[in-house]
Amino acid sequence: MHTPRVCKILKVESEAENIKTIYFKDRRTSSRIIPGQFIMVWIPGLDEIPMGVSHTGLNSELAITVEAVGEATEKLCSLKEGDVIGVRGPYGRGFSPPGLNNLIIGGGTGMAPLMPLIELCVREKINVNVLLGGRSLNKTPFIKKLRDIFNPKLECFKVTTEDGSYGCRGFVTDLLDEIISKNSFDRIYACGPELMLKKIYDYCTEKKLPLEVSLERYIKCGIGICGSCYIGSYRVCADGPVFKIAELEKIRNILGEWTRDSSGRLIQL
């Protein structure tokens, strides 16, 4: 069961600079996955790494969106149609189902696991507001996909870039006050760099808002036994990767401050 299932790559799309979306089919994952859960992607002979699922389509079609940041992700980004990867999962606890009015906040590739949630909201005509943050137009994934999904007049999709090359200049967190004062959300979902998540956490704690975030730690087994991905007493792979605000309260001193490397050594973020 926890053995990689080898899948052929159906299609590779360039999503942004150094970011690719890779399409493949895996029936087991597609029939079980809840938005926010992750899979372990095996690159035969090289590595196996955790990845969010960024699209769930018809006929067991799935996609991952990968940013090249090191050896394994660079290799993944260089793969072509017809090449193979292995996948096992889906693993972990995903996001809770959307409420009546939802806010989704993604930073860079952190938007990946949130994409199926947006797809779900749009498909079911559930109210959803999306904030996407990135460094610049060229480096921010999903802009085109989200623009295609949303009607620009509805004002429910906003982008920020650090250099102002697209959308508003600045950080997604700069838009929080405005969007939250104008709406009443019964779910706020976020994924992205941990410092961004920490800011959102602090904001939502102060305003008592129902936040859920997806976190990252060094994942090895993916099934909750090896103890590599602890954050406090939570195992990111089995108890997360999605955590609710009440759970984040217990790890607020670690959030945005500390992570652990492959050996388990503490590292300042």
Partner 1 sequence: MNFLETALGSIKLDNPLIIASGVLGTTAEGIKLLYEKGAGAVVTKTTTLSSKPGYANPTVVSTPSGLLNSMGLPNPGIEEMSREVASACCEGVPVIGSVAGSSISEFIEVAKRFEDVGVIGVELNISCPHERVGLIGQDCRLTYQVVKSVKDSVKIPVIVKLTPNVTNIVEIALEAVKAGADALTAINTVKGMVIDVNTGYPILSNKFGGLSGPAIKPIAVRCVYEIYASEVKVPIIGVGGISNWRDALEFLMAGACAVQIGTSLMKGYQVIEKIKKGLTGYMKKNKLKKLNQIIGISHKRC
Q: Where does this chain bind ligand FAD (CB under 6 A)? A: 38, 47, 49-52, 64-67, 69-73, 109, 112, 216, 218-219, 241
Residue from the set 230, 244, 252, 257 that interacts with partner 1 by CB under 8 A:
230
What is the closest distance, in whole angstroms, from the C-beta atom of residue 61 to partner 1 in the complex?
Answer: 20
> What's the closest the beta carbon of residue 220 comes to ligand FMN, in angstroms?
8
**C-alpha separations of 146 from 114, 157, 175, 194, 217 in Å:** 11, 8, 18, 23, 27
Please give the Cα distance from 197 to 204 (Å, whole number).
10
Judged by CB under 6 A, the residue of 69, 100, 226, 266 near ligand FMN is 226
Q: Which residue is nearest to ligand FAD (CB)?
A: 70
Nearest Cα residue to 33 out of 142, 120, 105: 120
# of chain residues touching partner 1 (CB under 8 A): 35
Of 71-90, binders to partner 1 (CB under 8 A) are 84, 86
Residue length, the chain? Answer: 269
Q: Which is nearer to partner 1, 68 or 221 (CB)?
A: 221
Q: What's CA 22's distance to the chain center, in Å? A: 15
Largest CA distance in the chain: 51
Write the burial class of residue 178 (CB in 10 Å: 0-12 exposed, 13-18 middle, 19+ buried).
exposed
Query: Which region among 147-155, 156-164, 176-184, 221-229 touches ligand FMN (by CB under 6 A)?
Result: 221-229
Residues 6 or more apart whose CB falls under 8 angstroms from that of 160 comprise 131, 132, 133, 134, 167, 168, 169, 170, 171, 172, 174, 175
Answer with the entry of ligand FAD, partner 1, ligand FMN, none that 100 interacts with (C-beta below 5 to 8 A by kind).
none
266 lies in the binding site for partner 1 (CB under 8 A): yes
Q: Does 69 bind ligand FMN (CB under 6 A)?
A: no
User: Which uninterrupted H or E stretch holds 80?
Assistant: none
Structure tokens at 89: 């999962």
Instruction: Look at residue 65 and give the partner it binds from ligand FMN, partner 1, ligand FAD, none, a contact being a CB closer than 5 to 8 Å depending on partner kind.
Output: ligand FAD
User: Which partner from the list partner 1, ligand FMN, ligand FAD, none does 67 bind, CB cut-off 5 to 8 Å by kind?
Assistant: ligand FAD
Residue 3 vs 253, nearer CB to ligand FMN: 3
Per CB under 6 A, does 225 bind ligand FMN?
Answer: yes
Nearer to ligand FAD, 64 or 172 (CB): 64
CA dihedral 185, 191, 192, 198 (to 10 degrees): 60
Written as one letter, the residue type at 245 is: I
- CA separation for the pair 186, 127 (Å, rounded): 11
Cis before 241 (ω within 30): yes
Q: Footprint of partner 1 on this chain (CB under 8 A)?
A: 1-4, 6, 40, 42, 44-49, 84, 86, 220-228, 230, 232-233, 235, 260-266
Q: Footprint of ligand FMN on this chain (CB under 6 A)?
A: 221, 225-226
